[in-house]
Every structure is written in structure tokens, then in C-alpha cells.
Structure 1
């Protein structure tokens, strides 16, 4: 792919739009299914909780969260892409429309009630955030005492080998992310690397491991 093609891939990964965006959303579901499933398992949402997800894509992989929180819970999705937000609303409303709130826009500017969120999930999101300190400050304010977070991300070395990551990606060492979390009074910070092999459309097998980063806000 040439430079313009790589920029288009990077743009669609950060904010899918139009017909190509819909296709990118479906492809991302395929490549991220194991990663998101593992992150949801680590988050362990339960009945009655308020769960906030940043960057939910088309929402298809978020269905287990909506099912887990039940009629007494609440699911809030923050999505930068209008295309993905529309898809997610359609898909998730089929499960429980009364508890779903899909918000469109920049997560750094989102209007989220303070001290109301039990758990937060964000997979493949941190690379597109310019100011992590501000994001973590906001998350800390959104969470109830003891509230937990789960981030899913590809390792720094893997991202750096992907040519499209030169366009708009903020690739940070894991240690830097952990330090910023600790500075915002997050505790029980734990990072787990999980190896995963993904088959390409051409039938090749690629090593696409991921990191699940968990923490909780101090009580």
C-alpha cells in the first residue's frame, strides 16, 4: 500500500466512516474478538452495574456486557464515529434498549456523571488519545469508589511493525501507561500479555498478541 492507502487505513481504524467504515467495523470484530472477550471477562460486569465502554465500534462484541448488567443496570457507549455509533445503537437495542445510552464524540469531552460508573472498558483506544493524563483524570472522576477499569491494547513492538501506525497513532511503552495510571491514584494495576495467532485473508498465520491492563480506583 502507498502512503495514502496507509493513511486511509489509520483513519478508518481511529474513526470508521461511511460504507468502508462499516466494513472496517466488521473486520475489526474478526481480528479483535478474542481480545475483547478476554477484556470483558476481566471486567466481570454483573447485574445492576453501570458500565462505560469507550470505542465500542459497531457494538456486536459488547452484547455480553448489556446482557450481564440486566434490567437494573446501565450501559453507556462512547464512540467517536457516527457510523459506528449508529450501528451499535441498532445492534445493542435488540437486547435491552431501555438501559443503553450511546454517546457520539470525543471521550475527553464526554458528559459522564461523576462517581456513577462501576466499570470501564476500552479496547484499542489508548493509541488515539493525545492526553492520557487528562483521560485518566476523567475516568477516576467517573468511577465509584473501588470502580475498575480494563484496557486492551496491542504491544508497542507489534504496533511499530504495522506501517499504518505512523499515521496518527500514539504508541507508548506499557510502563509509561502504568505510571500515568498510578499517578491518578489507580491501584491494583496489573498487565497480562496474551499470545494469539490470527489468520489473514490469504491464509497466513500472524502472531497478534495483546495486553490486558486492569486497575481499580482507590476507595
Structure 2
């Protein structure tokens, strides 16, 4: 699926926070491009049922059917900056929202909301690149997790990401060794990496091998 925008800098900004007339198309493009990575990330939750989950950057929420197929009785809270994506996620998950199984919240800046409960798992796919104060932000997530809770991140390889034409603004990539150093300095007890590759189509229609990782980071 090709992106609906040809200007690479504009595309990069839209990937960070879809907005305007093309927001819905951008959301569909993000999901199509990242579906395999999202589902692979979800596979590492080791859900037993009954967990409370927090997701940062849920886009149009089309992946939630896969998430809810993994275990019964889970409770999901999602934080997303893009209002059009929140609207699409509610349309795409109307039944889950009516059941009270999901809550969609709009994020404001890099300050996370306070919650009455803690979360077993926090997860996010292709979003850490946009965080400006990395340690402060993920310290908030650390504090939202239960004891022995986990943060699970899906993300593309640093060298691959930096070569993409739309990442020249708003994206900051880290090596796996640097990510491990940062998360352990925040207070997480362990950082485990799983490596994958997938075939995707570039903007010009060529097949490209994209390396990506899933990091399981334990409190």
C-alpha cells in the first residue's frame, strides 16, 4: 500500500500524528505497513486473561481484534495524540467500547494521565522515535506498571530507519545497546531483544527487507 502523500517531510509529520483531510488514509497506511510488526509484538505479551493493558499510539485501532483474540477478560486503555485516529478507533471497535473493555484517551504532549489502577503490560509499536524527553517519558510508564509488569516495544532497526526518506524530521532512532542502557538506567530490571525481518513495499513499489525488533522490558 502506497502512502497517500508524496512529500516526504509532510509524510513524516503525518506518521507522528495523523491530521487533516488525509488522516483516515494515513491511519490505514500505518496499519497496513505495520500490521505484522504489531501482531508480532502482541504475541510477546504472554497473556493469561484478566490483565490491564496500556497502549501508546493505537492509530485506527484495527489491531485490537487480534489483541482480544489472545485472552479473555482483558481490559485495554489506549493513548493517542491524533483526534481523527481516536474517532476511527471508536468506529472500528464499537462493540468493545460498548462492553467497557476498551478506553481511548487523547494524549497531550508527553505528560501521561494518572490512573486509579496499574497496568500489567504497556506496549507501543513504532512510536518511541517521537519522544523528545526519553527518560522522563518512560519513567512515567515505569511508574504505571505493576510490580514485575512489562513494557513491550516493536520498532524498526536504527540504520534502516535513518535511511528512509521521510524520517529526516521528528524521528530519533537509537541502537539496541543504547535503548538497553536507557531503560536499565530508568530502573527496569531486564531488556530482552527479539529480531525479525519482513518484506514490505517501498514508495516506488519495490520489495524491501525491513529488519525490526521486539523488546521485552521487565520492571
Q: Judge same fold: TM > 0.5, yes or no.
A: yes
Task: Report the CA distance between 1:201 and its aligned residue.
Answer: 6.8
Q: d(CA) in 2 for partners of 1:18 and 1:28?
A: 15
The 5 Å alignment of 1:133-144 reads 133-144=135-146
Q: Which residue of 2 aligns with 1:190?
A: 192
CA change 1:200–1:163 in 2 (3 A) is: closer
Instruction: Give 5+ residue unaligned stretches, structure 1.
Output: none
Q: Which residue of 1 aligns with 2:49?
A: 47
The 5 Å alignment of 1:103-118 reads 103-106=105-108, 108-113=110-115, 116-118=118-120
Using structure 1 for the length normalisation, give the TM-score: 0.90
Q: Describe the SS at the equivalent of 1:31.
A: helix
CA change 1:44–1:19 in 2 (3 A) is: farther
Aligned pair count reads 213
Q: d(CA) in 2 for partners of 1:114 and 1:122?
A: 21
Q: Which residue of 2 aligns with 1:127?
A: 129
The 5 Å alignment of 1:54-93 reads 54-68=56-70, 70=72, 72-93=73-94
Q: d(CA) in 1 for partners of 2:113 and 2:217?
A: 22
Task: Report the CA distance between 1:167 and its aligned residue.
Answer: 1.1
Q: Which residue of 2 aligns with 1:173?
A: 175
How big is the alpha-carbon RMSD for the aligned residues of Structure 1 and Structure 2? 1.9
Task: Report the CA distance between 1:136 and its aligned residue.
Answer: 1.6
Q: Describe the SS at the equivalent of 2:93.
A: helix
Q: For each residue in 1:68-110, what CA deviation from the matched residue of structure 2 results, as whole angstroms up to 9, or x when unmatched? A: 454x432000001101111112212223531211110236312
Point out the more displaced range, 76-85 or 90-99: 90-99
Higher helix share: 1
Q: d(CA) in 2 for partners of 1:143 and 1:9?
A: 33
User: Which 4+ runs in 1 deviate beyond 4 A?
Assistant: 200-203
Task: Report the CA distance between 1:13 and its aligned residue.
Answer: 0.3
CA change 1:115–1:133 in 2 (3 A) is: farther
Q: Describe the SS at the equivalent of 2:182.
A: helix
Using structure 2 for the length normalisation, give the TM-score: 0.90
